[in-house]
Chain A
Amino acid sequence: MAKQRYHRLSDHSLPFWTLILLHGLAVAAGVASALYIESHGHGVTGMNNQIVWGLPHVFAVFLIVAASGALNVASVSSVFHRLVYKPFARLSGVLAIALLIGGLAILVLDLGRPERVFLTLFHRNLTSIFAWNIYLYGGFVALVAGYLYAMMDRRLSNDPRATAVFGWAAFIWRLILTTGTGSIFGFLIARDAVSGAIMAPIFIASSLLYGLAFTVLVLLTMSIETSDILCTKELIGKFRGLLALFAATTLALTLIAHLTKLYAAPTVAVELFLLRDGGIYPIVFWIGQIGLGLLAPLLLLAVMKSEASNVAELAGASILFLFGGLAQMYVVIIGAQAWPLNIFPGFEASSSFGDGAVATYAPTAPEFFLGISGVSIAMLIAALAFRLLPVIPQILANEAKA
């Protein structure tokens, strides 16, 4: 096999500039929102003392979860030696870092005191899974950067051991990272909706799904931009199969989690709330997460023909999977808080502080802009990396037709 060549993006097409402009506007809106929230306090958001984590967390956790999954293509090439994915390993690594930074930026900007984030370097509480996640995220960026370096450096890239070592390390690290993110919720002992060990496997399965969906969308965009067929017929078939597999796994684990909680006495009430009686939450769950986010794209993948010219279904399915991911985070993060804590078992409680009552949450525009800007931050970082580093593979014309 001829040596794989890579190139940097040089001149951009008008549609590409338009995309960049749109993402730039979204980031500007996000930054303005963050400053607004910062100066006025979180009172200008829909968050309150009942719903303490709002839309920004929905986007941030979604992006962080997707980040570790985006490394998937690189992992299967280096760790599982699937050569067909090898040309895309760099792109996958870049995307993983970009998504993680996008997510973390939102998490930090939504803090009550974002300017104090560096305090976490000096004041650490090692019993906090949150503190551990800070190390996990930092380590992830460092390892993936090392991995990219090993792949791009002329000397190192000739030594397959270097890529393998970094590839393995990053692979293991990302599993721990996703487990860590999922555990943030598992540790909330009093929140009936999310406590429990099943959160971690769900997060791992869905991270693979969302990460791959992002990768596919970026690859397809780059195909158009470079007028190169980056997704060969073979690759499209493989992506289709993997997306379907990850989606089915996420679906199965989600159903198992809800069924287990539905049959356990302490959690049956909150389950009925999330799945049937909770107003917006069952709608977001059934229509958003399950219907549009998993079943519809699965159907799209089932009917699509695996031909290189037939990428619209693949793109459509990927977009729907990402939409479903946001819906999933909404149900998990907001729904879990909306359900009242059971402080006095055996009593119907009521108070001026929302005891015994379902909490209401009406997100405001600033928190939406702040959240969505995380996606745009990630996309702009990726675009910049594609311009500065040799990331995009050059696919030989005959290979593409094969």
Chain B
Amino acid sequence: MSHADDEHEANIPATTAWMPGTIPGSSPGTGMTGGNRRNFLRGALAATLIAPGVTLNVFGANARPAGEPASTKVRWGLLVDVNKCSISCDACVRACNAENGLTGRSETDAQWIRKVTLNNSATEEIRSAPVMCQHCASPPCVDVCPTGASFKRADGIVLVDKHICIGCRYCMMACPFKARSFVHEDHDDQATHAPRGKGTVEGCTLCVTRVDAGQKPACVEACAKEGGALVFGDLNDPGSEISKALRQYPAAQLRADLGVDPGVFYAHLK
């Protein structure tokens, strides 16, 4: 799987730097891989980032300086503490929709994050948890994508390059978590940092522009005001909040048996 990833990365044309901000703890020039990934993404979002105002949030305390690649030393991840997630709350979903300008008719609306109600078949206990792109380390969506539009950044964030997505929907067929949506119609009310193209596929970006600017994803921020069930951070950094939490109580990846190694963990899921 990793060999395949390397091959894929080698196909990415090297272009000039784009990504604003830096990742905490990353050192300059780490890994060509990261550079290629980042440059790849440049094509995806460059057009919108030229828009004035977007660069304002770049220089947060933990921001990654412009021109520096995303680093393989970092692996961004999420932890969902099911105990703290209330069935009636959908703050994360609303925050994501607002952040990314997701609207649409209900039959074909895009859902980058959704609340799933879970009825334990054995105990009849009812729980709930959000499901978004799991930012898999071995993402099937990336493996099957014919053009390489689906790609994984060095820091583990899985994205779609909307400029080379041909809308074949093979990634949607391959994703084990139904984490992607197809844009079924035109949308006028788009957020500048999250362009949406009719006929292409999209999904949770782990709020990449926010993360690169040193902020937390919108859903995590919104959840902090409610149950505080979502923890975001660097899975590779033992001192990060998420790593500490993962050491404190056991958490599992969804469908670990499939071997795709999600970057999202669920704690107290029983």
Contacts and interface: CB of A to CB of B under 8 A. Distances in A.
Interface string A32-48: 00000010111100011
A381 B140 CA distance: 37
Nearest to A189: B258
B67 interface: no
Contact of B143 (A114, A120, A128, A353): A128
Nearest to A190: B176
A69 B248 CA distance: 59
A112 interface: yes
Interface in B167-191: 167-170, 172-178, 180-186
B114 A355 contact: yes
B4 interface: yes
Interface in B109-157: 109-111, 114-122, 127, 131, 140, 142-149
B165 A113 contact: yes
> Number of contact residues on A: which range applies?
35 or more
Given A42-B182, A125-B8, A351-B117, A189 B176 contact: yes
A390 to B, nearest CB: 38
A53 B201 CA distance: 13
Specify the main secondary structure of chain B where it touches its partner.
Answer: loop
B140 A126 contact: no
B200 interface: yes
A124 interface: yes
Given A112-B169, A117-B166, A123 B149 contact: yes
Contact of B120 (A112, A124, A346): A346
B164 A119 contact: yes
B227 interface: no
B184 A347 contact: no
A351 B184 CA distance: 20
B177 A343 contact: yes
A350 B128 CA distance: 9
Contacts of A353: 111, 114, 116, 178
Interface in A38-88: 38, 40-43, 47-50, 52-53
Interface in A304-347: 337, 341-347
Contacts of B118: 344, 347-349
B181 A124 contact: no
27 contacts: A41-B184, A42-B184, A49-B111, A49-B182, A52-B169, A111-B199, A116-B166, A119-B166, A123-B147, A123-B148, A125-B145, A126-B8, A126-B11, A127-B142, A128-B170, A130-B146, A134-B146, A187-B144, A189-B140, A190-B140, A190-B177, A343-B116, A347-B121, A349-B117, A350-B117, A352-B111, A353-B111
Interface of B: 4-5, 7-8, 11, 105, 107-111, 114-122, 127, 131, 140, 142-149, 164-170, 172-178, 180-186, 197-201, 254-255, 258, 269
